Amino acid sequence: MGLRKRVTYYYDEDVGNYNYGYMHPMKPFRMRMAHSLVAAYGLDKKMSIVRPPRASKQQLTRFHSDDYMEFLSRVTPEVAELEPEHASVYLSGDDCPAFDGVFEFCTISAGGSIAGAKRINHGDADVVVNWAGGLHHAKKNAASGFCYVNDIVLAILELLRYHQRVVYLDIDVHHGDGVEEAFYTTDRVMSVSFHKFGDFFPGTGHVHDVGVGRGKGYAINVPLRDGIDDDSYQRIFQPVMAAVMERFRPGAIVMQCGTDSLSGDRIGCFNLSMQGHAACVEFMKSFGVPLFCLGGGGYTIRNVARTWAYETAVLVGEELDPVLPYNDYYDFYGPEFRLDVPASNMSNANTAEYLQKTAAIIADQLRDLPHAPSVQIHAAPADWDGAASDNEADDCHLDADPERKMSARQRDARVVPLAELYDSDAEAEADAVDSSDAALRAPR
């Protein structure tokens, strides 16, 4: 039996506070639901849970343009109405509304992805999870497809500072166009996207879209048809990814785990079960390469929460009871109250011949590439903004103030909402009153 993986899980409870709009299908609240299930199953005790630092505007401009970030940092619903000429350039209508707190939401998502990449770079984790990330459509100069900041590109740029090659894998029902476009001309990132192709957003990702210049051959697109089920998906997924890993030999894998490829999604048109979706995560974990799992699409929120909780268990190596434990959002999972997203009897338009033909095209593409393209040897550059790894930063803080028992980062990572320490709100309130009275009585 192999050693248990060191897993770091990024979560900021504020992420569930943001709202794209009442009728908008994207619901950040789903991250709070997923985390509640993770905690109810006790998975939080099997990994390091860290509140991510918020990304700064300077960090976001490592990929995004200055003018776009300047607008995004100040936009509100009122500003968008007053400046329609700017809103029409940087935002994409109803898909990407200027909701209250949009920039703060982006700093949480991107902050976790940048911090997670640093954690892998410094050898502090084998597996990192940030379900608030995975916003793969955002472009350098504009929002797109519910995505404002491309946290995935920012994470990969961070990983490339220490790793010669990075694989980006996308199992969202939509093509990972924003990430592919960012690395379309380089041979240091191999992007692999399994997606619905045809009359479907964003309309890109043809099997013959393979990259240009030095990046020619390093963009791999697997266009799929409606209704693909678990068996058909694995029939093409496993051979393609095994060949990618053998040919490219990456130092790290970034995996976008969008759940709109599940059966019954409000927007998606695939027919994967929860187990079929998670089988992809299990397969990539088996290579033993540092793995960074991110969220993404997913619009039937009870199924998003179920699947990401289940995939968190896969990553930490735990078996879960199929009967859901009681949690903060238990009523959402009725009437069955089980950890399951079953496939339906939807027709599968992906014939064996079609999948074989697509796999053969991709095999030929990979065969033409050199094994593990080399990169000129160079010393790893200093971290952005002088930031060290978590462990190094903790040591520096404790050296500067030996009386402290833990660093500010360690204290912040252990922050728990007061209510979670008590069996009832009444007990929490009573203790808070007692503490307040004691403070008033304390000698000055």
List, by residue number, the catalytic residues. Answer: 137
Half-sphere exposure of residue 255, counting CA atoms within 13 Å on the CB side? 27
Walk across the sheet containing 48-50 and list its strands: 48-50, 7-10, 127-130, 291-294, 252-256, 166-170, 189-196, 219-224
Dump strand ranges (E) for 240-317: 252-256, 291-294
Please state whether beta strands 48-50 and 127-130 pair in parallel, antiparallel, or not at all (unpaired): unpaired
Contact between 296 and 268 under an 8 Å Cβ cutoff? The reply is: no
- Residue 14 token pair: 């504020």
In order of 15, 73, 96, 98, 104, the CA distances from 77 in angstroms are 19, 12, 11, 5, 14
The Cβ of residue 401 has, within 10 Å, a number of other Cβ atoms equal to 8
Cα–Cα distance, 422 to 425 (Å, whole number): 7
- Residue 294 token pair: 């991110």
Residue type, 253: I
Contact between 306 and 341 under an 8 Å Cβ cutoff? The reply is: yes
Cα–Cα distance, 15 to 112 (Å, whole number): 11
Biggest CA pair distance of the chain: 82
Query: What SS3 class is residue 189?
Result: strand
DSSP at 2: P
- Residue 345 token pair: 């009897």
